[in-house]
């Protein structure tokens, strides 16, 4: 994968969040997390991770999954992995 900027990654994540959280108008930002975003429960989280892995063709390590606190962490991690 060619190198993506954090903004590009965030833009690619938007449709996944909208689909999984079933909100076509949703816009997440770097600070969004499960407690501030409607419908982001544990089941949705599993779907999000699976779809992001499929879409970006990456696999998150166990430790990486554990350390994710918000969308910004996710973007940073994807930026690292896509280098």
Partner 1 sequence: MVEHMDERGTGESASPVVIEQMVNEQTLAGLSLSELLMRRRGLRRQLAAKAGLHPVRIAVMSSSTPGELIHLLELWLLASGFAPTFYTPEFGRYYVDSVHDTQALVEFKPDIVYVHTSVLDVQGRVPMQATEEQFAALVKSEVARFEEIWQSVAEKLGCIILQNNFELPPVAMLGNLDGTLPGGRTRLAMELNREFAAASAKNPKLLLIDICSISARVGLDRWFDPRRWYSYKILTTAEANRALAMALHATIRAVYGKTRKVLVLDMDNTLWGGVIGDDGVDRIQIGNETPMAEAYTAFQQYCLGLRERGILLAVCSKNNEEIALQGLEHPESVLKREHFASFQANWDPKHENIARIARELNLGADSFVFVDDNPAERAIVAAQVNGIAVPEVGSDVTQYARIIEEGRYFEAISFSAEDLGRSALYAENSQRDAFEAKFADYGEYLDSLEMVAEIAPFKPVYLERIAQLTNKTNQFNLTTRRYTLAEMEQRANDPDCIALYGKLKDRFGDYGLISVVLGHRTGDALEIDLWLMSCRVLKRGMEAAMLDTLVEAAESRGITELRGTYLPTAKNAMVAEFYPSLGFQQEAKPSAELPEGATRWSLDLRRYSKQNQHIQRMEFSHV
Site residues (CB under 8 A) for partner 1? Answer: 16, 19-20, 22, 42-43, 45-47, 50-51, 54-55, 59-62, 65-66
- For partner 1, give the closer residue by CB, 45 or 81: 45
- For partner 1, give the closer residue by CB, 16 or 79: 16
**Which residues, including other chains, have CB under 8 Å from residue 26's CB and lie 6 or more apart?**
14, 17, 18, 37
Q: Distance between CA 40 and CA 16 in Å, rounded?
A: 12
Taking the complex as a whole, how short is the minimal distance between the CB of residue 55 and partner 1, in angstroms?
6
């Amino acid at each position: 994968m060619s190198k993506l900027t954090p903004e590009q990654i965030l833009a690619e994540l938007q449709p996944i969040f909208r689909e999984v959280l079933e909100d076509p108008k949703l816009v997440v930002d770097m600070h969004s997390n499960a407690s501030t975003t409607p419908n982001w429960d544990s089941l949705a989280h599993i779907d999000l991770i699976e779809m992001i892995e499929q879409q970006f063709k990456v696999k998150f390590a166990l430790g990486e999954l554990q350390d994710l606190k918000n969308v910004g962490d996710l973007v940073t991690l994807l930026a690292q992995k896509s280098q």
